[in-house]
Amino acid sequence: MKICVTGGAGFIGSNFLHYMVETYPQDTFINLDLLTYAGNLETLKDIENKPNYSFVKGDIADREFIYDLFEKEKFDLVVNFAAESHVDRSITNPDIFVRTNIMGTQVLLDASRKTNVGRFHQVSTDEVYGDLPLERKDLFFTEDTPLHTSSPYSASKASADLLVQSYFRTFKLPVTISRCSNNYGPYHFPEKLIPLMISRALADEKLPVYGLGENVRDWLHVYDHCTAIDLIIRKGRVGEVYNIGGHNERTNLEVVKTILRELHKPETLINYVTDRAGHDLRYAIDPRKIESELGWKPVYNFDSGIRQTIQWYIENKVWWQHILSGDYQSYFDRQYMELNK
């Protein structure tokens, strides 16, 4: 199979490529990524010379470029990770979220139709369901929970999901959608809660907790997200949505205190700051459909996953320090000089 992975230089896409390129040597993987601030080719050093992996720099919203690429490559499968993904950035600059997350997905859908792609998988998020009240621990998002978004980020992801579903119903494009809870793990860009707190705590810097730190997120190790997507693209039913989550709910304050405890750092580093506008209260996934239908099971719980992740950040300081210094952005120029000629 020839598989196009968009956004493969980002956090989850790169973990997915590491997993898939090793697990399926008979398949060919093409990583299509624009290398925005969130794209980092240093993350893919381990696999960049594998015979079944290659990289193409490009914008999923550039119709002409995408049509040419799809005509040339004739992909069997497209897995769309490419997105603007940070809620705070969507509050300060919503435009780019509409362009990449909605228009970019539509261009990929059109290109997939034109070239008869066998399966289009959209990597979505539980944020499309909005939030749940803090005091109703009995409520969970199922695949039938109505879409009810809060931020420009989640609104753009929900719009993309609706387009994907419309291409299934109207054009019979074989699609699947996965909606996963908050991920954490290796290669997570240090603007998101967990890597931000680990990197700052290691440097004895203040840890900015929004509001009272009582908002709840349902954390899933990125490895378990990757195995779930692998199952969905191979065994999932077309036209279906699959929620992915492992019942690992924690308040933000619990997460930050766990990180401080593991790093033997004092809680005095915690600094309460102005709350995020429209801040979603609680996310919590009901994963019974993917568990019962596809037999998916996570291998990490939060305690084992956060320990592994903290250890990874301790052992891979160079990776995230290159991000903080901006050095990672010149990797493409150094590594792929011939593409620029």
Is 150 a binding residue for ligand TYD by CB under 6 A? The answer is no
172 with 113: CB under 8 angstroms?
A: no
Residue 209, binding choice from ligand NAD, ligand TYD, none, Cβ under 5 to 8 Å by partner class: ligand TYD
Query: Judged by CB under 6 A, how many residues of this single chain contact ligand TYD?
Result: 12
177 interacts with ligand NAD by CB under 6 A: no
CB of 204 to ligand NAD, least distance (A): 26
Among 124, 215, 248, 309, binds ligand TYD (CB under 6 A): 215
Q: Do the bridges between strand 216-218 and strand 249-251 make them parallel or antiparallel, or are there none, so unpaired? A: antiparallel
Segment contacting ligand NAD (CB under 6 A): 76-84, 87-95, 283-291, 306-314? 76-84
Q: Reduce the DSSP state of residue 4 to 3 states and report it.
A: strand
Per-residue tokens: 39: 């794209």
Query: Does 323 sit near ligand TYD (CB under 6 A)?
Result: no
H or E stretch at 188? none
Pick from 83, 30, 82, 81: nearest CA to 229: 81
Helix runs in 39-115, H state only: 63-73, 87-92, 95-97, 105-114
Residue 189 corresponds to which tokens in the numbers above? Answer: 């860009």
Q: How far apart are the first and last CA of the chain?
A: 30
Q: What is the smallest separation between the CB atom of 252 and ligand TYD, expressed in angstroms? A: 5
250 touches ligand TYD (CB under 6 A): no
The helix (H) or strand (E) run that includes residue 271 is strand 270-273
* 39 binding ligand NAD? (CB under 6 A): yes
Asked if residue 120 binds ligand NAD (CB under 6 A), the reply is no
Site residues for ligand TYD, window 66-125 (CB under 6 A)? 87
Active site residues: 126-127, 153
Residues 161-190 that bind ligand TYD (CB under 6 A): 182
Q: Give Cα separations from 236 to 173, 186, 217, 225, 292 (angstroms).
A: 15, 27, 26, 14, 12
Residue ranges that bind ligand TYD, judged by CB under 6 A? 87, 182, 192-193, 196, 208-210, 215, 217, 252, 276
